[in-house]
Amino acid sequence: MVRAAAADDSGATVADVLVVDDHPLMCDALSATLGLAFDLRKVRAVSSIAAALASVRDEGAPDAVVLDLNLPDAEGVGGLLALRKAVGAAPIAVISADVEPGVVSAALGVGASGYVSKLLPRARMVDAFRRIWAGETVLPDGFEPEDAEVGEAATLARGFASLTPQQMNILRLICQGRPNKIISYELSIAEATVKTHIAAIMTKINVRNRTQAALLASKARLFTH
């Protein structure tokens, strides 16, 4: 196999990549393929956003991230939003079998550097990552972003970006219809603390009630379920 040099948009060589995917075979295959194709110094493979954030905290930010959107603790672009805050300017490439235009637009709106279909042949997939790490925005075949759609997602993301990880967890449970008492139990925090967080969430995203918060999160494709 011919090895392809990769560099991010700052010109720095990509040597340390964080792969976040909860499917063991996909994660192993992707890690091995990228490691060999780009002669990477390090490939970190994790299966959740929590593990990804722990890796960044313990080992520092990687040079690039490859992220599946649907994970045990994050469904939709909420996980991408959390990682974008954690890894700074490092390019985040979404890899997913779901190439629905609204999802792609939402991912771009919250900071994805590119969006790669899991259905691509290996050679095309490697080329997609090479281009993303060189600073190009790679999108699924046939996808033509609508400026208004991407712009709306970006606008919504600015409000959600200010939420803490705990507030994001609470918002996710609100979107699932959980009452405060259940949220308190599931997150092992006091119900009064839940209420305080909900008040802060509503202020940050400029809504008046839980229903509006859930609708706005849905519009931003923050969570898929």
* The pLDDT of residue 6: 65
* Closest C-alpha among 71, 75, 78, 88 to residue 165: 78
Structure confidence at residue 151 as a pLDDT band (50, 70, 90): low
Q: Is the pLDDT of residue 59 over 50?
A: yes
With a CB cutoff of 8 Å and minimum separation 6, the contacts of 178 are: 186
Q: Calculate mean pLDDT across residues 2-17.
A: 65
- Inter-CA distances, 143 with 106, 113, 115, 151, 161, Å: 13, 15, 10, 16, 26
> Among 5-9, 40-44, 55-59, 117-121, where is mean pLDDT lowest?
5-9
Residue 217 CA to residue 172 CA, distance in Å, equals 9
| Predicted confidence (pLDDT) at residue 1 exceeds the cutoff of 50 | no
pLDDT band at 64 (very low <50, low <70, confident <90, very high): very high
In the predicted model, what is the mean pLDDT of residues 84-97?
Answer: 93
- pLDDT over 90 (residue 220): no
CA 107 to chain centroid, in Å, comes to 7
Of 47-61, 83-97, 146-160, 172-186, minimum mean pLDDT range: 146-160
Q: What share of the chain is helix, strand, coil (3-state, %, to 5)?
A: 50, 15, 35
pLDDT at 38: 94
Strand 70-71 to 74-75 pairing: antiparallel
- Residue 166: burial class (beta carbons within 10 Å; 0-12, 13-18, 19+): middle
Share of the chain above pLDDT 70, in %: 87
Residues in the chain, overall count: 225
- State how beta strands 16-20 and 64-67 pair: parallel
- Comparing 15 with 156, the larger pLDDT belongs to 15
Which are the contacts of 55, defined by CB distance < 8 A and separation ≥ 6?
A: 18, 44, 46, 62
Average pLDDT over residues 69-85: 85
Task: Find the mean pLDDT for residues 104-127.
Answer: 90
* Distance in angstroms (rounded) separating the CA atoms of residues 76 and 210: 19
- pLDDT at res. 186: 93
Q: Which amino acid is present at 213?
A: A
- Choice among 54-58, 109-113, 148-152 with the minimum mean pLDDT: 148-152
